[in-house]
């Protein structure tokens, strides 16, 4: 886990809509991430989910409307102490009623007062009937909150409890956590930057059922794309066949073969500020793809003629425009530094991320990586940890290159 994600202090506000039941899963995920969580419920929220449930999951008492202006706490004022303690305040779900109260600063509830008093980032997740969502009052309140610097995340589309199938669903707890990480990320150096990342393997089919491929999981490329999104980038992910859940917050272009990836990347490269080639692209493909399945009957052996695939990174290097940053990856099994360094020169890379696939904790499908960042002047920098940790170091290096270019 990235260092800045650890031990974060989160106030989770829960208002009174049917989606309040998802608060239990949100709290569970936050605790699994190591966050300390204080839950603040409106009076109506308690009609949908028990405070006892959220107290058990958070490991802390739940703050209720009855605690607002209570004499029980003496000099401690709950809405001020919670507002000061929080590193981020989230409200999920946010009903139209609570939204209006926050937008107009009425402070009629403990939750509204916490939001009004905090100086921490505020994330709001509206969830309501589609007609309520599209009402002029709700649209005006949403605009007001965004103008004040609050992050208002649009609801999802899908089946609503009221019977409509439309926009208005609370996003999944996993998406809510991702939005929180993006707000909390301390480095926003990629804001407004257009980033393209390639990820995963390529498959080169021999016939309709067999292919030549590699065991890349796509985890490293995903980590690169996700951490770029945390830092504010507009991310496009060109990804080969992987068994990972769909990424959030970015455009994903699925491809299969090296030629597919070549076309997808080259058609988008000119508009990108930064390109990171993290995919494990096949160097060769069958010269001929059989239309039907090759049968084993009558064959003692099978010879396959292979031809080279185009070198995507080399083509990008040839087309590279001024100010564009190009980063490559090299998976090697011997002479790591020498082989990777040659690729920097040949492909016009700004730097390359090299890893020895035979090393423990650095092979395909691993959740960790051990890499060497190699630069055109021959200097190197070692990094190891989770793939997210390695990706974060990559973006630190990119940021330093951007800083030099802007001077």
Residues taking part in catalysis = 162
Distance CA 3, CA 187 (A): 12
CB 150 within 8 A of CB 124: yes
For 308-321, letters b (16+ CB in 10 Å) and e give ebebbbebbbeebe
Distance CA 77, CA 74 (A): 8
CB 242 within 8 A of CB 199: yes
Closest listed residue to residue 237, CA positions, set 272, 213, 210? 272
> Does the CA dihedral 239-241-244-247 come out positive or negative?
positive
Distance CA 321, CA 133 (A): 44
Paired with 10 in beta bridges are: 37, 88
Axis crossing angle, helix 173-184 with helix 219-230, rounded to the nearest 10: 60
CB 43 within 8 A of CB 14: no
For the stretch 213-216, contacts whose Cβ atoms lie closer than 8 Å and that sit 24 or more positions apart, written own/partner, are: 213/241, 213/282, 214/280, 214/282, 214/364, 215/364, 215/365, 216/240, 216/242, 216/279, 216/280, 216/364, 216/365
3-state DSSP helix/strand/coil percent for the chain, to nearest 5? 40, 25, 40
Closest listed residue to residue 131, CA positions, set 93, 160, 173? 160
> How many of the other CB atoms lie within 10 Å of CB of 80?
13
């Amino acid at each position: 886990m990235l260092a800045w994600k650890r031990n974060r202090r989160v106030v989770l506000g829960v208002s009174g809509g049917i989606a309040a039941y998802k608060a239990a899963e949100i709290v569970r995920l936050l605790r699994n991430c190591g966050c300390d969580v204080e839950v603040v419920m409106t009076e109506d929220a308690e009609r949908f989910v028990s405070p006892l449930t959220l107290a058990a999951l958070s490991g802390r008492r739940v703050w209720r409307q009855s605690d607002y202006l209570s004499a029980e706490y003496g000099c401690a004022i709950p809405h001020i102490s919670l507002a000061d303690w929080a590193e981020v305040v989230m409200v999920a779900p946010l009903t139209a009623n609570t939204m209006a109260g926050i937008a107009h600063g009425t402070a009629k509830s403990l939750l509204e007062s916490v939001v009004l008093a905090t100086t921490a980032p505020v994330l709001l997740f509206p969830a309501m009937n589609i007609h309520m969502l599209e009402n002029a009052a709700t649209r005006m309140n949403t605009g007001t909150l965004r103008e004040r610097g609050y992050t208002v995340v649009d609801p999802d589309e899908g089946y609503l409890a009221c019977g409509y199938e439309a926009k208005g669903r609370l996003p999944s707890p996993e998406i809510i956590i991702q939005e929180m990480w993006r707000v909390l990320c301390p480095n926003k150096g990629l804001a407004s930057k257009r980033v393209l990342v390639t990820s995963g393997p390529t498959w080169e089919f021999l016939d309709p059922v067999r292919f030549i491929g590699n065991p890349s999981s796509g985890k490293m490329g995903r980590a690169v794309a996700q951490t770029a999104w945390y830092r504010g980038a507009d991310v496009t992910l060109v990804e080969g066949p992987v068994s990972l859940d769909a990424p959030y917050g970015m455009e994903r272009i699925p491809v299969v073969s090296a030629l597919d990836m070549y076309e997808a990347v080259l058609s988008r490269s000119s508009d990108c500020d930064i390109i990171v080639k993290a995919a494990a692209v096949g160097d060769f493909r069958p010269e001929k793809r059989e239309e039907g399945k090759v049968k084993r009957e009558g064959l003692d052996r099978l010879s396959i003629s292979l031809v080279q695939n185009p070198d995507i990174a080399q083509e990008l290097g040839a087309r590279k425009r001024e100010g564009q940053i190009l980063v490559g990856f090299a998976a090697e099994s011997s002479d790591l530094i020498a082989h990777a360094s040659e690729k920097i020169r040949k492909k016009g890379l700004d730097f390359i991320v090299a890893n020895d696939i035979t090393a423990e904790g650095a092979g395909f499908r691993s959740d960790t990586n051990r890499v060497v960042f190699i630069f055109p002047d021959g200097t190197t920098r070692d990094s190891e940890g989770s793939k997210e940790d390695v990706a974060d170091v990559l973006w630190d290096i990119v940021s330093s290159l951007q800083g030099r270019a802007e001077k």
